[in-house]
Amino acid sequence: MSMTKELEDISAHKVGTESLSDLVQQMLIFLGENPEREGLARTPVRVAKALRDLTAGYRTDIDQLINGALFNEPYSEMVVVKDINFYSLCEHHMLPFFGVCHVAYIPNGKVIGLSKIPKLVKAFSQRLQVQERLTSQIAETIKSKVNPLGVGVVIEARHMCMEMRGAESYKSPTVTSSMLGSFRKDARTREEFLSLINRK
């Protein structure tokens, strides 16, 4: 990245954080709080920075993230990366949901660097999301970038919008899956994946 581009990004980040901070200050007033009292004096800035961090995925270039980490490899058995921890914000209430993501694929002449899979999960989870879309985005991206014989993604997550409000259903995980290619067509492939991620 050039020095000019880096300075532009820093400037845009500062402006974005300042604007968010002003909005948070207004929100505190609407909630009946005094944003100038000691405990809240720095809260607008903290919240603005936190929201920028928690939505960093909007500013992540997926091609740049992968950065050529695709390698020719004749390996043709299942590759599984399981128990990838993630945190996201539901787009309906902007409350957190979090859990683990399990990803598998069967190579078709190419493999992706293993560290890129958790980074993909993070890039898509750091956005305003619904769990169903998050699951599909991870699977579809691996399908399009790696062109494997099949991809499987399973996400298990707890949603604070369910636990803190509404149903107030405590510790009720939601499980979603996306099965593409051989994972969708072949029951044995799908069962092998599910068996591997459930093995302790």
Among candidate residues 6, 8, 73, 91, the one labeled active-site is: 91
Straight-line distance from the first to the last Cα atom of the chain, in angstroms, rounded to the nearest whole number? 43
Catalytic status, residue 93: yes
Catalytic status, residue 159: yes
Q: Note the pTM of the prediction, 2 decimals.
A: 0.89
Q: Which fold has domain 62-198?
A: GTP Cyclohydrolase I, domain 2 (3.30.1130)
Give 56-97 pLDDT, tens digit per residue: 999 999 999 999 999 999 999 999 999 999 999 999 999 999
Q: How far apart are CA 17 and CA 51, in angstroms?
A: 9
Note whether 3-54 and 62-198 share their fold: no
- CATH code for 3-54? 1.10.286
Among candidate residues 6, 18, 36, 92, the one labeled active-site is: 92
Catalytic status, residue 161: yes
Catalytic status, residue 90: yes
Residue with tokens 């581009």: 5
Instruction: State the average pLDDT for the chain.
Output: 92
Spans of all domains in the chain: 3-54, 62-198
